[in-house]
Copies of this chain bind each other. A is one copy, B any other.
Amino acid sequence: MTQETISTKAVITPAEMLEHWQGHRRLTRRVIEAFPEKELFSFSVGGMRPFSELALEMIAMGMPGIDGMLTGKWSTFEAIYEGGRPTTKEALLALWDELTEKLNRLWPEIPAERFHEVDVAFGQYEGTIQFTLFYFVDNEIHHRGQGYVYLRALGIEPPPFWDRA
């Protein structure tokens, strides 16, 4: 049985999933870029966090999350904050791009079986690896959608949702 035949039992294969995640991350990067520097770190609606904090949460999940998914060793979710928060758009985007490269580098090492193992993400959240993985991606989509409202409230046209190039 070939690899291709085997993978037809999947809704989405590991290779497709990496592209799915990185496609979303390319869009989120454009949303970060769309914010004026000041508003990125200060503007919000309804008492919520500014978009810089939402983007940093995405990085805070993904940066140790890819290690945990691969190895089963989870550092704390808060690790990313220990070096201090980025205070410029450029520094935030540099962290973003660092994670992009890290995902591309480590993802292919995850055995496909691993996605169905139960683990305790960050030592706190029990579930299969696929559940945790989709939590990362869905949390990004959720908060990015909030960023779209912030941009609209600022009178800025957000990048198109359908464009993941």
Contacts and interface: CB of A to CB of B under 8 A. Distances in A.
Interface string A125-143: 0001010011100110111
Contact of A145 (B20, B47, B144): B144
Interface in A100-154: 112-113, 115-116, 128, 130, 133-135, 138-139, 141-146, 148-154
A81 B135 CA distance: 32
A7 B8 contact: no
Interface stretch (A10-18, A59-67, A71-79, A88-96): A10-18
Contacts of A46: 149, 151-155
A145 B89 CA distance: 23
Contacts of A149: 45-46, 48, 146, 149-150
Q: Which of A12, A148, A154 is packed against the most chain B CB atoms within 10 Å?
A: A12
Copies of this chain, whole number = 2
Interface of A: 1, 3, 6-14, 16-17, 20, 24, 45-48, 112-113, 115-116, 128, 130, 133-135, 138-139, 141-146, 148-155, 161-162
10 closest cross-chain pairs (CB), A and B: A145-B145, A46-B152, A10-B10, A46-B153, A142-B145, A149-B149, A141-B141, A11-B17, A8-B113, A6-B9
